[in-house]
Structure 1
Amino acid sequence: MTNNTGEVKMWECPSPDCSFATGGSAELLEHVNSEHPGEYQRDDWPDTDAARAKKQQDGSDESAGE
């Protein structure tokens, strides 16, 4: 896939411990499903400062009321 400037779009694995990148979304989907099954369905993923801040901002941080 290319963008408006003709550059190839690279898709990077969103897993923090993975450096996989590909030029196609189908390949990324296959990688995620085979290498990281269930990882993105966990309540604690992604457990990063930015994700925690976003959860708190959205009011979806379940542990905030404890």
Structure 2
Amino acid sequence: MALTLSAVVLFGILAVVLLRGRHVSFGTALVLFLFGFFVAGTGAYKPIYNLCQAIAEALTHLTT
């Protein structure tokens, strides 16, 4: 059975776990969220997206 998760869902779950475990403060999480939000609107979006796609594809080939 294949399970697919959106990167947004994955990072959202990770953020909730870190916040609940008191590993990061709410202020730190907000700053990182805003940083990611504003980076998405720049030219850096496409290379970062391509890198994530390549890593995901490589991981897929490791499990088969």
Please report the TM-score for the alignment, with normalisation by the length of structure 1: 0.32
What TM-score does the superposition give when structure 2 sets the normalisation length?
0.32
Which structure features the higher share of helix residues? 2
The structure with the larger Rg is: 1
Q: Of the two structures, which has the highest relative contact order with CA contacts closer than 8 Å and spacing of 6 or more? A: 1
**Structure with more strand by fraction:** 1
